[in-house]
Amino acid sequence: MPETKNITKSNPYASIVDFQRIFDEDMSSLHLLALLLTGDREMAEQCFISGLKDATKGNPVFKEWARSWARRMIILNAVRVINPRPMEGAGGLNPALLSTLSAEQQPFAAILELEAFDRFVYVMSVLERYSDQHCALFLGCSRQDIITARSRALQQTAKADLHSNVGTKVTAHEHSDSELEQLVTATSA
């Protein structure tokens, strides 16, 4: 009789331990994601904790997809908490938050100053690279709303970046001609 080998199959799905490890290892980036979306430290913390709970209790996810699934859970929780709507005018940054940003979070102040919907679109489509269709599905709006909001957000963050560069030493090798023209126009205005 042929000898049978005891073959054990490894589980292809992420376990609770896998998600706990991901949330522990990626704590800073996941918390920053939640903060950029919500614009509020307490809500960011709430989204982070809910994201961990949802990731571990949700549908099975392949281990290879667990990191992106964790980020997705943070995004979905932020959408539930904030419920951003196009052109709602809910305001951008909470002024008290700006003074509490760490040195590593300072570069994100321009994103936090965006209106809530524009901020969500910017983070989801530009930073997280979600498609316009996925953004529209998550945010419950049209693709055109996404395209318009992203354009607005890119213009506002570029303007904020230019303003932060005013007063700094400008050399030709650091900026393109069009950037130099924009800096000169911004300084003379």
User: What's the confidence (pLDDT) of residue 100?
Assistant: 72
| DSSP symbols for the chain | -PPPP---PPP-B--HHHHHHHHHHTHHHHHHHHHHHHS-HHHHHHHHHHHHHHHHHSS--BGGGHHHHHHHHHHHHHHHHH---TT----S--HHHHHH--TTTGGGHHHHTS-HHHHHHIIIIIIS---HHHHHHHHTS-HHHHHHHHHHHHHHHHHHHHHHHTTS---TTTS-HHHHHHHHHHHH-
Q: φ and ψ at 65, to 5 degrees?
A: -100, 0
Tokens describing residue 26: 């990626």
- Does residue 166 have a pLDDT over 90? no
Tokens describing residue 16: 């609770």
- Does residue 173 have a pLDDT over 50? no
The model's pLDDT over 107-122, given as tens digits with 9 standing for 90+, comes to 888 899 999 999 999 9
Query: Residue 68, exposed/middle/buried by CB under 10 A (0-12, 13-18, 19+)?
Result: exposed
> How many beta carbons lie within 10 A of that of residue 166, not counting itself?
12
178 vs 24, residue with greater confidence: 24
User: What's the confidence (pLDDT) of residue 174?
Assistant: 41
Rounded CA separation 106/89 (Å): 24
Confidence of residue 164 (pLDDT cuts 50, 70, 90): low
- Does residue 65 have a pLDDT over 90? yes
Rounded CA separation 31/35 (Å): 6
Residues 57-66: what's their mean pLDDT?
Answer: 91
The model's pLDDT over 105-160, given as tens digits with 9 standing for 90+, comes to 778 888 999 999 999 999 999 999 999 999 999 999 999 999 999 999 999 999 87
User: What's the confidence (pLDDT) of residue 136?
Assistant: 98
The model's pLDDT over 70-95, given as tens digits with 9 standing for 90+, comes to 999 999 999 999 999 997 655 555 66
- Does residue 39 have a pLDDT over 80? yes
Q: What angle do CA 144, 124, 120 make, to 5 degrees?
A: 75
Mean pLDDT across the chain: 82
> What's the start-to-end Cα distance of the chain, in Å?
90
pTM value? 0.76
- Does residue 25 have a pLDDT over 60? yes
